[in-house]
Amino acid sequence: MRVTDQAHRQDFWRSWLDTYLPLEMRGKLTGVVERDGTLVIFAESPAWSARLRFAVQELEPQILAAKPGITAVNVRVLPRGGSV
């Protein structure tokens, strides 16, 4: 059940981010995970992570409002092929 919940949350956030992020950033995401009230969004490189961090900072109020229980958002680097 827990794996199914995690996959459902990942699908929700991937779809949400695809709706609100600029087109060029969408393909640079390598993962998204909810952990202990924190949404962690992974980018494929440090450069994209920095750009994504600025975009997410502007969207943070909408992200926090989109799902109860999320209290923080972090952006990290995870190259393609890495595991979350």
Q: Is residue 9 part of a domain?
A: yes
Q: pLDDT at position 3, please?
A: 66
Radius of gyration of the chain (CA): 12
Which range has the worst mean pLDDT, 4-13, 44-53, 61-70, 74-83? 74-83
Domain residues for the domain of 42 are 2-77
Q: Is residue 8 part of a domain?
A: yes
Number of structural domains (the chain) is 1
- Per-residue pLDDT at 1 exceeds 60: no
Q: Is residue 49 part of a domain?
A: yes
| 18-to-12, 25, 35, 39, 70 alpha-carbon distances in Å | 10, 9, 20, 15, 18
Number of C-beta neighbours around residue 68 at 10 A: 8
**DSSP reduced 3-state for 83:** coil
**What are 4-40's pLDDT values in tens digits?**
888 889 999 999 999 999 999 999 999 999 999 999 9
* CATH code of residue 9: 3.30.70
| 34-to-47, 48, 72, 73 alpha-carbon distances in Å | 23, 20, 10, 9
Q: Is residue 83 part of a domain?
A: no
